[in-house]
Chain A
Amino acid sequence: MPEIVLEEREGLLSRLSGALSELMAERWMKGAFIGLIGVYLTVLVALPLYGLLSKSLYDKTGAFIGLANFTRFFSEAALFSSLSHSFFVSMTATAFALPLGFAFAYCLTRTSVPGKKVFRAMAMAPLLAPTLMHGLVLIYLFGKKGLVTKGFFGAAQALFGVSGFDIGLYGATGIIIAEALYAFPPVFLILSVALSMTDARLYEAAEALGASKFRIFRTITLPGVKFGLVSAFFVSFISSFTDFGAPKVVGGSYNVLATDIYKHVIGQQNFSMGAAVSVILLIPTALAFLANHIIQRRQSAGVAAKAVPYSPGINPARDRLAFLFCAFISLLFLVYLGVGLYASLVDVWPYKLQLGFRHYDFNATGGGGYAAYFNSLRMAFYSAVAGCVMAFGAAYVLEKFKEFPRLRQFCSQLSLLPMALPGLVIGLAYIFFFNAPGFSIEAIGLYIPNPLNGLYGTMALLVLSNLIYFHTVSFLTAGTALKQLDNEFESVSESLSAPFTRLLTRVTAPVCLPAILEIGYYFFVRSMTTLSAVIFLYSADLPIAAVAVANMDDAGDTAPAIAMCMLIVVTNLVARLLYGFATSGLQKRTRAWTRR
């Protein structure tokens, strides 16, 4: 008996080790992918952020001064005012964007207003342009020589006997209008999702109990979207709080945090003070993001599994009112785009109103002209392609692989971090990180030359900064799409001895293609319009369109600046059309397998 046991054990042992190596091969391969995502996020998010935080503790000359930058910020009224200004304009802009976005979303989800598709598309219009353009158009409307200020070139005087009207655009007013415009699309999107998720049975029950319309609104509609409202509030707040483009153009002498950072870094070359103000910008942003994240997590636990979708009946009076409101808002956006176009075509505003394409020439102005435009186009295209790969890839690896749970969780958390980072913060952090010739780790007396130093001032770094800046939203989009796939697909595929790549290419990616397209479109449009992430990273021989707009505006070339904005808008419109064609083509193909 003993020898049998012995023989058995030896056989087992050798077989066990053989099996172990087979198992390890796949495990390590997947581990390598997870590790890759980990390195990607650590190098591009965690380390630069750490660099920025530590930089804020040094002075101009590189001497460690602890929190002195911060004490200076809070004790000097001129510096501190930018923080209260930032709070004031973002809260006020949110106070406009939230009710308007809610009303618009309500009309499109809870009434039978005609033309929903058109209105839905119109609501997204402000996203097609850089926020710089919001400011520029406002100048053309309400600025010193603006249409409204000058009474429509005297037409108002002639017709109604009123001269122009000056709203005092430069400063808080201009920033607030521009930011409200900028925050409108995301607020609308979040609230229309929230409003369309409410359970119709609640309304039926309330009506059966004879509750009044107002009571139903107060007791069912509002509580049903309270998480959506909170989320919209935070998103609107963050976007206004961190925006750089609009305050740069219409802020005048009204300083906010974003413009202050720029002034410290570019104007005074005081990088460490810039870093300190960045940290001050970062903290409320990150807190708002964190609060939102916690609240949303609580919400998803409370959603009923099987809600009956609400379908609004016909109510002519209500629907007409809704139509008027939606048409009014859409008209505002159309006027906005129209004024932009008109201003870019007018020869000399407001004296010589002949139209022409003179300002689209860019020869007489700085900023880079068409070279900048084509650089932006290339950057947006690369960002779209690489963004799809990295954001979807990260979501896929972290969602579908089961190996190394700790590391995956770490990566998931890092993936959420970029959403809390303002573009200027990313840009500044990247200056510190990629421009550094090397890092010395004093604790162990080690000096490591920076292997990534060569990236500084290249297209690659611009693309990388966009990949990170827009990572979280895309990562979450991909994650949502992937979560809708049966978790057992992986098990089935494995049990049929197919490698995971086959499942990915044959099933997972094709089924998620709509989400992948959406991610690509999002990366493209955002990269085309962003200013804050790239303004610290472009170089003279690599000009970028949005930066060119800012520089032309600085130089007083407002008309070419808005012409460049129009080029960006038109490009994004074309991208939108292509995206629309691609998705509708895709829908036709997938209809075969999604419907009976």
Chain B
Amino acid sequence: MTSGREAQNAHLSVWGVCKNFGDFTALDDVSFNAAKGEMLCLLGPSGCGKTTALRIVAGLEFQDAGRVFINGDDVSMRPVSKRNIGIVFQSYALFPNLTAAQNVAYGLVSSGRGRARSRERANELLALVGLPGIGGKYPAQLSGGQQQRVALARAMALSPEILLLDEPLSALDAQVRIHLRSEIKKLQRELGVTTIMVTHDQEEGLTMADRILLMRDGKVIQDAPPDKLYDQPATPFAASFLGSMNFLPALDVGDPKRVGFGRVSLAVLKSAWKKGDPGTCQLAIRPEDVVIRAPGAQDVTYAGNVLEARVASLEFRGPLYRLTLRLVDGPDDCPPLIADVSARLAGRLDLSDGAAVQAIFPVELLHVYAGGL
């Protein structure tokens, strides 16, 4: 739990927020902080409470317990109009009967600026999001990507403390989405606005966020920068939600530096041990971390953790091949091991169904999730 002092230093701070809808717990003791200018991403499967968390930060929904601070002020009970935040919704919610410029100026006019100055500022904002000269068009006359940016300009019009984006790119097609990812990120950096983005697209989270809050069933599972989240997933769920991960049944032999694995034992780092599901002990390694060598080859880089394997199938994926391997010495209930090798290496090894290979688990890339911890 975050301490009071720390919370008041962060730009945005959420403390122990709980939210129930009837009997259903949508958020269970959610806490996080965001520093000024940071981009935080709420990531998680559908229905895990991301939108609810965002709406509570916005003041569109009120928490049953817990508090929200912006700039050290307790805004827990303030409605959205008193929180100085900008929101971009998944649907963009652009007013259909107002032009792009009128949409952007909507908040400016009611904030008491003159009409002319509002219009000027609206055009500035539209230029800022890369849409100069479209001010006179109606939303229906704009492409999805343009609409998205108009919504962004409208949200930024009052220079909000916090920008909230709910699945901002999910309504766009793949090409535009990838382009807009970097655009939004660039803009966010330039403006230095503290941003919270909700997404269930892991790639979007990994590429855009400074920090990711991984959620599941209304709880925060892990709060870490994207690379750390990918390299050091705190739970099996975190490991499998981002990228792919092999989970192999292992045996806790009481030695923090070794685990039993079928007929062999493998070396692991002491720091590789993390808490897993109760009553289990699992080795975990990402497919791209498995090293594949020709049978009998001696590799000085990888001293230990060499396993005999046979290729059960291989699948061409462009730059790489995805191999499904049977581990010869693995335990009886061992699922097939998935390993990615570059297309070049696969060609050199002359891989085909049934071929024998060595699968090496580099010790620093192995994770252990044990229920007993």
Contacts and interface: CB of A to CB of B under 8 A. Distances in A.
Given A15-B74, A16-B74, A19-B76, A497 B81 contact: yes
Which bucket holds chain A's interface residue count? Answer: 20 to 34
B97 interface: yes
A496 B89 contact: no
B192 interface: no
A575 B154 CA distance: 41
A494 interface: yes
A332 interface: no
B110 A497 contact: yes
Interface stretch (A158-166, A543-551, A587-595): A587-595
Nearest to B166: A488
B93 A489 contact: yes
A492 B89 contact: yes
Contact of A12 (B58, B74, B85, B89): B74
A23 B78 contact: yes
Given A16-B74, A26-B79, A506-B95, A491 B89 contact: yes
Contacts of A26: 79, 81
A4 B97 CA distance: 53
Contact of A491 (B58, B75, B110, B158): B58
A262 B111 CA distance: 60
A502 interface: yes
B73 A15 contact: yes
Instruction: Kindly name the residue among A5, A493, A590 whose own CB sees the greatest number of chain B CB atoms within 10 A.
Output: A493
B157 interface: yes
A338 interface: no
A506 B140 CA distance: 17
B77 A19 contact: yes
Contacts of A492: 87, 89, 93, 154
B141 interface: yes
A507 B74 contact: no
Given A496-B157, A497-B110, A491 B73 contact: no
Interface in A471-507: 486, 488-489, 491-499, 502, 506-507
A316 interface: no
Contact of A496 (B4, B75, B91, B106): B106
| A interface majority secondary structure | helix
Given A496-B107, A593-B140, A594-B140, A507 B98 contact: yes
A16 B158 CA distance: 25
Interface in B105-133: 106-107, 110-111
A491 B74 contact: no
A495 B91 contact: no
B289 to A, nearest CB: 43
A496 B107 CA distance: 5
Nearest to B141: A596
B96 interface: yes
A317 interface: no
A513 to B, nearest CB: 9
Contacts of B140: 593-596
A54 B95 CA distance: 50
Instruction: Kindly name the residue among A4, A23, A486, A593 whose own CB sees the greatest number of chain B CB atoms within 10 A.
Output: A593
Given A489-B95, A497-B111, 13 more contacts: A19-B75, A19-B82, A23-B78, A486-B91, A491-B89, A491-B93, A494-B60, A496-B158, A497-B81, A497-B158, A511-B97, A590-B97, A596-B141
15 contacts: A8-B4, A19-B77, A19-B78, A486-B91, A491-B89, A492-B154, A495-B81, A495-B85, A496-B107, A498-B110, A507-B98, A590-B97, A593-B138, A593-B140, A596-B141
Interface of B: 4, 58, 60, 73-83, 85-87, 89, 91, 93, 95-98, 106-107, 110-111, 138-141, 154-155, 157-158
